[in-house]
Structure formats: structure tokens, C-alpha cells
Amino acid sequence: MKQQTEILFRQIAMLRMIPRKGGITARQIHQLLADDGFSVDLRTVQRDLKTFTESGLFPLDVDESSKPHQWYWQTDAVIEIPTMSGSEALAFVMLDRHLQGVLPPNLLSSIQPHVQHAEKLLQQHKHQRLARWSEKIAMLPRAMRFLPAKVDHEIHANVIRALLDEKQLEVVYQPRAEGARQYVLNPLSLVVQDGVMFLVASANDYNDPLHFVLHRFKSAEVSTKAARIPPDFSLKQHLQSQAFDFPLQEKLIRLVAIFDRYGIYHLHETPLSEDQSLEAYAEGLEKLTATVMDTLALRRWLLGFGERVEILEPLELREEFAHSAAEMHAKYNPAESAAWGRAPCA
């Protein structure tokens, strides 16, 4: 019985692979079946295709003038194949795992039957290889990992709905160091960065896109008024401007720094900029030159190297790091701890 079930699933999968336009060969179907976890030889695939065509049960045609032969659905064929392939099942499971909180709740709810069916399908013998794929993939942040902030479910749902329906949001928002404020927001996009969700939106009568952290919303109600969306706003361009790296000025800077060679080996593979250059400086050291945005993220990245980096240019950045190093030295130097109003650590 199990063998008959697997044959049926395989044949349904084959029918789903046949296109309405163009055509597909038996060898191509055989490869797709293998990708989906089916173990079957090419001769069996060829026999099944011949049976499909000659039985008259399916409106299929075969182009025998091509070598090898190609199968396709007839132009006016009306037929639905009631299942999903192993690849489609895997896509549903991965989508459910990695896009929670980003897709609209009603959309997530509507695809749950498909997700549940996909999970069952992947657990069946024929798809065990694909089922194991989700256990082999992970996405991790490069920086320190933190527990995700708690976002009110109703607020999250309203933010998503306003973004989807292109409606204004009437919110009470708690900035980091100020009292709660009321805003009328025009939602533009949603960005997830290291587990934190940001709503990109313009506020009140202004057009400049700002970033609002979802877990700082005290309330959020969807307005009946249409959101004012600037025709020239592009999320792609907004991200390319490094807006989420917290720019400190609009102009680019020429960064020149001396690094421990092994500390920046990854920059040979993943450069900071298009014009980046790395050259030997002294034993065990390399000099980096790159044109970059002057951002808070850049400073945090450089500070992470500690004593293994020396900033040469720009001079303002070098002086800033020299001042930070002096302050750190004072904090860790027992003789100078009193200057910070505390006794030295034992």
C-alpha cells in the first residue's frame, strides 16, 4: 500500500511539472523528481509519460519532432493537480519559520493550512531529504545576540494593516529618553534588523522618512485617511543610503586605518567599499583605505577591534578614538579611578 501511495504521489508530481507552454523532456522530469526526493529510474518516468498521453485521461500532447521528445498540456486544457511538490512544501515551511512578524497576520493565518499540509508532506518517506533541509539552515546576526523585544500583538497587527492598506496611523510613541508623544504617521515600509522591527514612516506634516521601533509604541490605531506616500520613496534606495547605520553626516569620508592583518582578513572577501584597498604596512599589519559613510555603525565596528586598529584619517575620527581610548584607560587605571567618582576595583 505504501509503495502504491508513493507511486501515486510521484505521478501527481510529474503532472505538475509539465508546462502549458514550451515543453519538458523525460530527463528533465527525472531530474526534478530526484530534486524532490523521489527515487525512480528514467525508464519508469518515460513509461509513465507514455501512459499519461495514450490513456486519454489527461489533455497532454507530446512533440515527437523534437529530440528528445517534449511533453506539454494542451492549450485549452482545464485541469487542477491537487497537491504540492516537495519543493513547494519546503518553501511554505521556510516562509512560516523566517517571515513571522513581517507578513500581514491575515495572510499568515490564511496560509496555515498549507503550512500544516507542507509539514506533513515533508515528513513522508519520499521527502525525507527535503525535510532535513530546514534542519541544515540557520540565519544568525554577526553582532551580539539579544532576546527580541516584546511587541504588543494588537499594535503589531495594526501597523501591518496600515502599511498594507496604505492608511495613516494614529500613535502614541515613547522615544528613548523623552516622554510619550502623539504622532500621525504615514507608513512606508517595515524593516527587521537583528530581531528589532522598525516602521519607516513620515510623521505629521513632514515628508522625511523616520524610523520608529515597534516595541516603543504605546498605542496604534489605523486611520480612515489615506497615507501620504512620497512618489520618489524607495525602500531599496533608503537602505542603500545606510540610513539604518545611523549616519552622522551626509558626506562620505576617506577612512585610512592600520589593522592587525588577521583581524581584517574578511575584508579581502567582503570589502567595505568599491574603492577599498588593502596593502601591507608592517609585519603583521595592513593599511586599509576606503570611502565610506560616516555612521555610528562604522564607529561600533572599529571600536570592536580594540587595540588592533589605529585610525589615521580622517583626523577628526582619529582624535575621537584617541579621546575614547584615554577615557577607557582612565577607567581601568586604579590611579585614575578616583577621577570617575568611584573606588578602584579590588
Q: Please give the distance of CA 49 from its chain centroid, rounded to a whole number.
A: 40
Place of cell 499519461: 52
Q: Whole-number mean pLDDT of the chain?
A: 84
Whose CA is closest to 45, among 65, 22, 68, 66? 68
Per residue in 8-33, pLDDT (tens digit) is 778 888 888 888 888 999 999 998 88
User: Is the Cα dihedral 166, 169, 174, 178 positive or negative?
Assistant: positive
Whether the per-residue pLDDT at 218 is higher than 90: the answer is yes
Per residue in 154-200, pLDDT (tens digit) is 999 899 989 988 999 999 999 887 889 999 999 999 988 877 889 99
Domain chopping of the chain, boundaries? 2-73, 86-133, 153-230, 243-332
Q: Output the CA–CA distances (angstroms, integers) from residue 221 to 160, 167, 204, 291, 316, in the order listed.
A: 11, 10, 15, 43, 45
* Amino acid, res. 120: K
Contact assessment for residue 204 and residue 168, using Cβ atoms and an 8 Å cutoff: no
pTM: 0.62
Whose CA is closest to 257, among 203, 183, 311? 311
Contacts of 174 (CB under 8 A, 6+ apart): 180, 181, 216, 217, 218
Q: Which listed CATH number (1.10.10.10, 2.60.120.260, 2.60.120.330, 2.30.29.30) goes with 2-73?
A: 1.10.10.10
**Res 275: pLDDT:** 94
Q: What is the mean pLDDT of residues 225-243?
A: 88
**Cα Rg for the chain, rounded, in angstroms?**
29
> Does residue 220 or residue 249 have the better pLDDT?
220
Per residue in 304-322, pLDDT (tens digit) is 898 999 999 999 999 999 9
What are the strands, taking DSSP E only, across the chain? 60-63, 70-73, 167-173, 181-193, 196-203, 210-213, 217-226, 247-260, 277-282, 285-295, 309-313
* Amino acid, res. 343: A
User: How many alpha carbons fall within 13 Å on the CB side of residue 6?
Assistant: 15
The helix-helix angle for 26-35 and 2-17 (nearest 10°) equals: 120
Q: Which CATH architecture has domain 153-230?
A: Roll (2.30)
Length of the chain (residues): 346
Whose CA is closest to 218, among 182, 253, 249? 182
Gap between the Cα atoms of 321 and 192, Å rounded: 30
